[in-house]
Chain A
Amino acid sequence: MSSGFPESLHHSIAEPVNRLVDGLVVNYGDQLRPVADTLLLGVTWLESGLRALPWWLLLIMVFALAWHAGRSWKRALALVALMFLIGVVGLWDKLLQTCALVLVATGLCVLLGVPIGVLLAFRPTARRVIMPVLDVMQTLPSFVYLIPVLMLFGLGKIPAIFATLIYALPPLIRLTDLGLRQVDTSVREAARCLGATRWQVLRNVELPLALPSIMAGLNQTVMMALSMVVVASMIGARGLGEEVLVGIQTLDVGRGVEAGLAIVALAVIIDRITQDYGRRESTKPG
């Protein structure tokens, strides 16, 4: 079985890890559940808020947002039509559930990702430590950490958000970092010479100049969050992913395709809107 690797050098960390997880569940599980439940309240609140809105109002809101981002009637109409189509195939409710999950996950990503990106850009030590961590986050198969997280926080939306956060955060951090480091040093120095403080330079000069890159990162983060939707449904999060899963498991290809395309449509909508915002910022005169 083992292809010649000396038996005496075998050493498994499986047992200690198992004991650690079991210990965490027994000792800290009861304290962590209320934390998870509080976060859960926020998600369910957002979800029921979205569901309380009449469908046409939501479409109008998406239209307004798309128009505000791109200033193009045609594009905004096309995006709204896509969203309308999701409703037509009977997936409106699932769409909103997925939206709530992706919005919360993305919001948390921005809250965490941009500051970490700033840290990375200006602190070489932090870079050296965090970069490998980002690699791990992007490559570690999600079920490896999902099951322990699930045992600690319970089934459903919370571990789903956690998993999405781990998977979708890295691109935002990386691109924030990249954008800030690409800011022309002469611009930065000019601002310093005019007497701006460190904070003012960051807020008024560097971050605005890095914004196209940050928006590209945000765009990637949303796309990756959407691609985690199916994995999230494997741990009991409702939404479009669940439909895909059911489609696959019952060999109901049509149902899977319908839900799969709905995820793509949602991705296109969010992608176009965020990209338009990014582009507008980068071409803005001055």
Chain B
Amino acid sequence: MHSITRWLGGAALAFTVLMPTAHAAEPKPIYFGDLTWESGSLITEVLRVLVEKGYGFKTDTQPGSTVSLEVALARNDIQVIGEEWAGRSPAWVKAEAEGKVFGLGDIVKNADEGWWVPDYVIHGDAAKGIKAVAPDLRSVSDLPRYAEVFRDAEQPEKGRFLNSPAGWTSEVVNTQKLKAYGLTDSYVNFRTGSGAALDAEITSSIRRGKPVLFYYWSPTPLMGRYKLVRLEEPAFDAEAWKTLTDSKNPNPRGSRSLAARLSIGVSAPFREQHPELVAMFEKVDFPIALLNSTLASMSEQRQSPRAAAEAFLKANPQVWQAWVSDQARSKVEAAL
């Protein structure tokens, strides 16, 4: 017992002695949230390169889950979240209402979510010898006819729709959509449990050339890597959308999903201290097709986000030059 307490005490002492010296006399860097999904990590690194090289600030990242990063942003423990799906999480909405965090810009226009099938399901792929198994599949209303194509292994008399993991906001929407489109009798609402499992199942099906029907969103590497077709849905209708997001509504009505607004989240102190960076963040605009293909090659070549960000900036100067000040532009160009 004694030796354990002494050991712990020693460790604690060593910790307190060593910690301050490690960080002494450095100007505090700007902390970015270390986003773990592909588009988030790429956008974060692009912004970091621009801030570091163009404006001369030191930056660093802090890991954390989405919610914990949003809470950290509200407390100014981190200063920037590179890709914020503003308005989707209660933590964000509360902090924004209190004026602690701000969402800047509209960084990826046409960010999208919906139901997708691989292109070969509809058109076939002669090169790979895949026949078109659902040639007339255009819209969600065609799905009942093709339940057999997307056969569920556990309940073979039904088709399988790969929903997002239970607990995501989109899972509720998709479940309501299944009801709204009258698919509950012909399709199994298969919740995939985790994003990794959803990705693995889609990738495995596509690699083997099998039909698969799934929920997905963009910007993502998957969208850039494979040829996918989005099934048509009724046009967006705000009233119908409300019935889709409410899991308790018994009679939901069909509608496309609400267009997502992706912005850059910054803390209130950051917004006051760095007006020049705020001005830049507000102009950020990634064309979605280019972003998807960049993400696809990043994921295929297994590049680090940093390397992918630098390659992106080098290859696409026309995209980012409009965002930054003239001075910063020449500095970034010189650094690249």
In-complex Cβ contact of A151 among B166, B190, B203, B302 (8 A): B203
- In the complex, the answer to whether A235 meets B194 with C-beta atoms within 8 Å is yes
Complex interface residues of chain B between 174 and 214 (CB less than 8 A to chain A):
190-194, 196-197, 200-201, 203-204, 207-208
Chain B residues contacting A15 (CB-CB under 8 Å) are 302
Main secondary structure, interface of A, reads helix
B167 within 8 A of A: yes
Given contacts A29-B208, A36-B153, A245-B165, 5 further A-B contacts (CB under 8 A): A14-B302, A22-B207, A150-B200, A155-B190, A250-B167
| Nearest CB in chain B: distance from A158 CB, A | 8
B26 at the interface (CB under 8 A from A): no
Say yes or no: A156 contacts B153, CB within 8 Å: yes
Query: How many B residues have CB within 8 A of the partner chain?
Result: 23
Tell me the bound Cα distance from A57 to B190 in angstroms.
30
Q: Which of chain B's residues have a CB closer than 8 A to the CB of A155?
A: 162, 190, 192-193, 197, 201
Task: Tell me which residues across on chain B come within 8 A of A55, comparing CB atoms.
Answer: none
B85 interface residue per 8 A CB criterion: no
We find that the number of chain A residues with CB closer than 8 angstroms to chain B is: 34
> Do B192 and A242 touch (CB < 8 A)?
no
A25-B207 in contact (CB<8A): yes
User: In whole angstroms, how far apart are the Cα atoms of A234 and B200 in the complex?
Assistant: 12
- Contact of B204 with A40 in the complex, beta carbons under 8 Å: no
**Contact string against B for A residues 113-137, beta-carbon threshold 8 Å, 1 for contact and 0 otherwise:** 0000000000000000000000000
Beta-carbon contacts of B202-233 to A below 8 Å, as 1s and 0s?
01100110000000000000000000000000
Which of A33, A152, A235, A236 counts the most chain B CB atoms within 10 A?
A236
The CA-CA distance from A234 to B166 in the complex, in Å, is 9
Asked if A154 contacts B153 (CB within 8 A), the reply is yes
Residues of A within 8 A of B197 (CB): 147, 150, 155, 234-236
**Interchain CB contact under 8 A, A157 and B207:** no
Structural contact, B154 and A156, CB atoms closer than 8 A? yes
Docked complex: B292-316 residues within 8 A CB-CB of A = 302
A225 to B198: give the CA distance in the assembly, Å: 23
A152-B204 contact given A236-B190, A236-B192, A237-B193, CB 8 Å threshold: yes
**At the interface, yes or no: B168 with Cβ under 8 Å from chain A?**
yes
CA distance A18 to B190 in the complex (A): 27
B contact residues around A147 at 8 Å (CB): 196-197, 200
**Does A236 contact B204, Cβ atoms closer than 8 Å?**
no
Contact check, A40 vs B208: say whether CB atoms are below 8 A apart.
Answer: no
Q: Find residues 37-56 in chain A having any chain B CB closer than 8 Å to their own CB.
A: 37, 40, 44
Whether the Cβ atoms of A242 and B208 lie closer than 8 Å is no
CA distance A177 to B193 in the complex (A): 36
Instruction: Give chain A nearest CB distance to B176 CB in angstroms.
Output: 16
Report A's interface with B, CB cutoff 8 A: 14-15, 18, 22, 25-26, 29-30, 33, 36-37, 40, 44, 143, 147, 150-152, 154-157, 233-237, 242, 245-246, 248-251
Q: B155 contacts which chain A residues (CB < 8 A)?
A: 44
Interface centre among B154, B155, B167, B207 (most CB of A within 10 A): B154
Are B193 and A40 neighbours in the complex by a CB distance under 8 Å?
Answer: no
Contacts of B166 in A (CB 8 A): 242, 245-246, 249
Shortest beta-carbon distance from A27 to chain B in Å: 9
Q: Are A157 and B167 in contact (CB under 8 A)?
A: no
Q: Give the shortest distance, in Å, between B295 (CB) and chain A (any CB).
A: 17
Q: Which residues of A contact B201 (CB under 8 A)?
A: 150-151, 154-155, 236
> What are the 7 A-B residue pairs with the smallest beta carbon separation, nearest first?
A249-B167, A151-B204, A234-B194, A234-B193, A235-B197, A236-B193, A246-B166
Closest to A143 in B: B196
**Who on chain B is nearest to A40 by CB?**
B153
A30: chain B residues at CB < 8 Å are 208
Distance of B20 from chain A, by nearest CB (Å): 21
Residues of B within 8 A of A29 (CB): 204, 207-208
B146-158 interface mask toward A, CB cutoff 8 Å, 1 = contact, 0 = none? 0000000111000
Q: How far, in angstroms, from A147 to B165 measured CA to CA in the complex?
A: 15
- Determine the chain A residues whose CB is within 8 A of the CB of B167 once the complex forms: 245-246, 248-250
Q: How far apart are A240's CB and chain B's nearest CB, in angstroms?
A: 13
Q: In the assembled complex, how far is the CB of residue A53 from the closest CB belonging to chain B, in whole angstroms? A: 20
B207 touches A40 (CB 8 A): no
Q: Which of B121-165 contact A (CB under 8 A)?
A: 153-155, 162, 165
Q: A246 — which chain B residues lie within 8 A by C-beta?
A: 166-167
Q: Chain B residues near A233 (CB, 8 Å)?
A: 193
CA A248 to CA B66, docked complex, whole Å: 13
- Please give me the residue from chain B that is nearest to A33 by CB atom: B153
On chain B, the residues within 8 Å of A25 by CB distance are 204, 207-208
Closest B residue by C-beta to A160 = B193
